[in-house]
Structure 1
């Protein structure tokens, strides 16, 4: 329902909005707005999704998004037309510091002789990709990874699913974020 409402709102904006002003939003704003709606189908959200994935999939990853501002929007489109950066150390931007990129790598394999093993790891990086730490690292387990884990933000998050055969390799990534009221949320897993 939430996804449909967001898609409808984006559709109405696309039909009735002025094309010049629609381009006024920077890509960080588009990523945040589209992520909140689960990346509903639209040209803007498709571009936002591609940009976010392009930022977080290389190693080391770039931050998935920054602060949504109109800093680079020309004055004639209603923006300040400036080049200045926003001070994100202020208390009103604390929500941005709760953003983490969570990396998952897992595999199942069978050694000669027939025993099946599973390896998996979860790594969490801050929004600037300066600090990364392992949440979990397991090698040569006789059982698959569990159903869920507890993130740095205190959320219980389901592991990504994949495989189904005795040999597979899975690499996925997600973004955990908090809003300005302190509520935590997360994106779905993106496999790559």
Structure 2
């Protein structure tokens, strides 16, 4: 486990260095995973990865911002490397042919896991994946001519499971993080809010968030 943590830390730090491949040459979700772990360091590749991350929560539709199942984390000639170290290698790899060759002699591994990581990411080193929360918020409140306070809301919360699988559940205004601009208060003043909020913590536990109003 210590070697995995070390590899994750090295990979997350190293991503701040300019990538060897053009932006379009590597799976963008591998870049999102690395850049998120490293706190979105300043680079053209991480800027692109973050733009995709945010675009996915910009309606419509609202998608999982990290789609880890699209990142082939098993792809490595050296099976002794830790998953995050292999991931960094994949992200730097130039072109699809090298990626195909890296699978070795087992064609069954060409099939990525369905809607989850294709390696075990249950280790706490990957808690930054599970830290991602997405809130899609629609909220309206007004007092009608009879003096009644009418409130209508639809809030759903998207979370990542142990192996990076994404799921939506119903949620409530109380669960929306305080970093959001959503502030319904307790009075019955007219209030309207519609937006998507996403937050996360990076590998070192630093908090970050984005919100898209629409």
TM-score by length of 1: 0.53
How many residues are treated as equivalent by the alignment? 158
* Counterpart secondary structure, 2:63: coil
Cα separation, partners in 2 of 1:179 and 1:73, compared to 1, 3 Å: same
1:44 deviates by 6.8
In the alignment, is the contact (CA less than 8 A) between 1:55 and 1:63 conserved in 2?
yes
Structure with a larger share of its residues in helix: 2
The 5 Å alignment of 1:176-191 reads 176-181=199-204, 183=205, 185-191=207-213
Cα separation, partners in 2 of 1:169 and 1:47, compared to 1, 3 Å: farther
Cα separation, partners in 2 of 1:47 and 1:178, compared to 1, 3 Å: closer
**1:103 is the counterpart of 2:136:** yes
- Return the alpha-carbon distance in structure 1 between the equivalents of residues 191 and 166 of structure 2: 28
Structure with a larger share of its residues in strand: 1
In the alignment, is the contact (CA less than 8 A) between 1:56 and 1:63 conserved in 2?
no
In the alignment, is the contact (CA less than 8 A) between 2:39 and 2:202 conserved in 1?
no
- Return the alpha-carbon distance in structure 1 between the equivalents of residues 146 and 193 of structure 2: 24
CA RMSD of aligned residues (A): 4.5
TM-score by length of 2: 0.49
Q: Which runs of 5+ in 1 are unaligned?
A: 1-8, 138-148
In the alignment, is the contact (CA less than 8 A) between 1:56 and 1:64 conserved in 2?
no
In the alignment, which residue of structure 1 is the partner of 2:67? 66
